[in-house]
Structures are given as C-alpha cells and as structure tokens.
C-alpha cells in the first residue's frame, strides 16, 4: 500500500512540475513575442539582414542547372536557403 501511495504522489509531483515548467515556458515566449512586436513597431528590431551576395551566388548556380544539394554544397549554405531562393525566383 505504501509503495503505491508514494508512487502516486511522485507521479503527481512530476506532473505538477511539468505543468509549471510548461506554463513558465509559454509565459516567457509570450513576453518575448510582445517585446519583439514592440521593438518592431518602434523600428529597432529588424531581424537578420538578407545576405545578397549569397543569394546572387545561389541564383547563378540554379540558373546553371545545378540541383538543390549541389547548389547548397557549392554556395556553402543550407538546402532550405536554396529552396527559398528558388521559390522567390519562381514567384517573379
């Protein structure tokens, strides 16, 4: 009986700690988002600037007919970056 009772209490404590941690995480994310929104509104936060040189290199390699992985390897960037540039070209 005592072992089962202690196990139940332990599970309850773990669940409670997990709920507190989740709530804390969500609250920090919300405050971070509010801060970023406020900074953007005041023109302070602009995010990471676009690397125009890299994007031009990727465009050239794509125009040369290389595949996504080959372009990423030659341009020293991720395949995600290559696909974003490819999609931008397709929208034009």
Q: Report pLDDT digits (tens) over 34-92.
A: 999 999 999 898 888 889 999 999 999 999 999 999 999 999 999 999 999 999 999 98
Q: Report pLDDT digits (tens) over 5-45.
A: 999 999 999 999 999 999 999 999 999 999 999 999 998 98
In 3D space, the residue among 57, 59, 82 whose CA is nearest the CA of residue 69 turns out to be 82
User: Encoding tokens for residue 10?
Assistant: 């332990």
Domain extents in the chain: 1-47, 52-91
Beta strand extents in 3-85 (DSSP E only) = none
DSSP 3-state helix, strand, coil percentages of the chain (rounded to 5)?
80, 0, 20
Asked whether the whole model's pTM tops 0.75, one would answer no
């Amino acid at each position: 009986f005592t072992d089962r009772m202690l196990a139940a209490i332990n599970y309850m404590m773990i669940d409670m700690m997990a709920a507190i941690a989740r709530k804390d995480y969500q609250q920090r994310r919300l405050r971070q988002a509010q801060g970023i929104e406020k900074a953007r509104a005041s023109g302070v936060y602009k995010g990471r600037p676009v690397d125009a040189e890299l994007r031009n290199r990727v465009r050239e390699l794509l125009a040369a007919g290389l595949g996504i992985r080959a372009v990423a390897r030659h341009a020293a960037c991720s395949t995600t970056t290559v696909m974003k540039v490819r999609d931008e070209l397709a929208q034009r």
